[in-house]
Structure formats: structure tokens, C-alpha cells
Amino acid sequence: MLLFSDAALLLALALLLDALVGDPDWLWRRLPHPVTLFGKIIDIADQDFNTPDLSQRLRRIYGALFLAALVACALLIGFLLEAILRGLPFGEIGIVAIAAVFLAQNSLYRHVAAVRDGLVHEGLAGGRRAVAMIVGRDPEQLDESGVARAAIESCAENYADGVTAPAFWFLLFGLPGLIAYKAVNTADSMIGHKTDRHGAFGWASARFDDLVNLPASRLAGLTLVCAAPFLGRSLTTCFAIMRRDAPQHRSPNAGWPEAAMAAVLGVALAGRRIYPGYTVDDPFIHDEGRKTLTAGDISRALKALSIAAALQFMLVALIAALPLFT
């Protein structure tokens, strides 16, 4: 396993590589993305072991067993890749490249910016079309404020589970931790829903994803709050709002980065959300914040995201440099 300082150095390089290059379209048009491979495995298991003739109890057991097997395979792949690469000359370059593939700073920024650009250049129709690529709610039910709010919430939540969480698990356990985390997170996004089909089979995936995201969601909230002074907001006030409103969210983790983002921007997030087939009536996070949102608020959210990611990078770089001072 990588030493902590060595892992921090490789992670800093991976964060930098992802920020500068992201996921090259030319590469993933020719090769399957590793997350896509996880998705295919999860889909096969969902079709084979989550059939209507099974009881809810059996579905829950099968779902837990499948998750355990998925995590075990992901850990094994990570261990093998890391062992092979560390035995090769300049193999650390391969570790950095693989780690960068599982980070999402660049792609998150681009997808959220596309919603802003859609609103600015094509109006509501363009915003709806772009936001449908990153959220599951019904885009036809969204006005301009709804489109902007959905994009900002996605920006905050995906910063936590698409950037901070994979970085956190790589820092602790190297490639095995990173790849296992992405397997769990992908399973949660595909089957961890409270629906008739997935409520039982995806129960273990949803609960385990809550567990592994718990530390990173708080860290993501903290780095987003640290962007407050750069957006004309009080650091202490935003921190207090995050602590107060994060528990109001139905997710034990998403509330932290979303409450931080709401406080930093001075807007209200969450509230009533309409999905295909059902509606969620949640209270607003930062209810006293502005509820009419625009494309300009998405730009401000992207600024907060960039500052938080830069602070996270500097923290990792500082950890990597610690041996120089001892």
C-alpha cells in the first residue's frame, strides 16, 4: 500500500491532471470508461437477481451479497493494478492517470457550465435540455429558477461525491480505495432508489454509499464554505448556516455541500422537486435566501466550485510536502 505522503503526492498530480485535461472525448469514444463497465455489471445483476417473483427479504439479501462481491472485485482490481504499476519503472505515472480518470472536477465544471450557457444562449429550452443531462428531475416542469437551482445543487453534491470522496479514499487506501468507492457510488446511483423495484435490492448499496460518503461530504462542505469571502459572504455566517441546515436534507450527506453552497451564494436550494412519476416536497435549505435564481447564480456556483477545488488541491499538496519539514 502507498505511504500516506506518497499517496498525497500522486493525488495532487491526479487532481491537477484532471483539472487540466478531464475526460478526453476522443479516448472514451474508443475505450469503455471504467465507470461504464461497473454500470454494465450492476445492470446485469439487477436483471438476474432482482426479479419480481422474489420476496422483498430475498431481494435485500441478494442485493447485499452482490454489493459485497462488487466491492471485493473492485478492491482486488485496485490492489493488482497498484502492485503491477509500482513494480514498473515510472509506474507512478500510470497510478496518477488511473486516479485522474475517477475524478470529476473538469467534467463537473463543463456539465454545469453547459446549463448556464444553455440558459444564456438558448433560453429556457436550452437550459432544460442541458440540465436533463445531470439531474433526474422532470426538466419540463422547471422554470428558469428551477433549472438554475437544479444545476447548482448538482454542482454541490457532485463536488462531494465526484471529487472529494474519491480523493479521500485514494489518500487513505490508494487505488483499491478509489476504485472500490467508485463501484459503490455507481451502484447507489443505479439501484439505490426507494422505488418498488430497487427499494429492497438496492438497500445495501444506498446505505453503504451513505457510510462511505459521510466524511467527504463534510470536507466538501467545509471547502465550499471557505469560498464565502471570495463571493462577498461571511465565512462564520456561512459555516453556521451549513451546520444548521445540512440536517434538513433527506440525504445524510448531500445536505452538507448543498447547505454550504446555498449559504455561500445567498440563495435557497432544495424545496419542492418534481421527478418523472413522483414529487418530493422538502423544506428549502437556507430558506431566508433568495429563491429567484438565474444563470448568473450558476456562474457564481462555478466560482465557488473552482475555489473549493483549489483549496482541496492545496491541502493535498501540503500533506505531500510534510516530509520535507520533518
State the pLDDT at residue 1.
64
> Residue 274 above 80 pLDDT?
no
For residue range 37-46, list pLDDT tens digits in order.
Answer: 999 999 999 9
Arithmetic mean of pLDDT, 126-142: 90
Residue 184: C-alpha distances to residues 45, 104, 261, 285 (Å): 14, 16, 25, 27
At 277, the pLDDT band (50, 70, 90 cuts) reads low
State the pLDDT at residue 137.
82
For residue range 82-98, list pLDDT tens digits in order.
Answer: 999 999 999 999 999 99
Q: Which residues contact 50 (CB under 8 A, 6 or more apart)?
A: 59, 62, 63, 191, 197, 198, 201
Using a cut of 0.85, tell me whether the model's pTM lies above it: yes
For residue range 199-254, list pLDDT tens digits in order.
Answer: 999 999 999 999 999 999 999 999 999 999 999 999 999 999 999 999 998 889 99
State the pLDDT at residue 193.
85
3 C-beta neighbours (distance < 10 Å), count:
10
Arithmetic mean of pLDDT, 118-144: 92
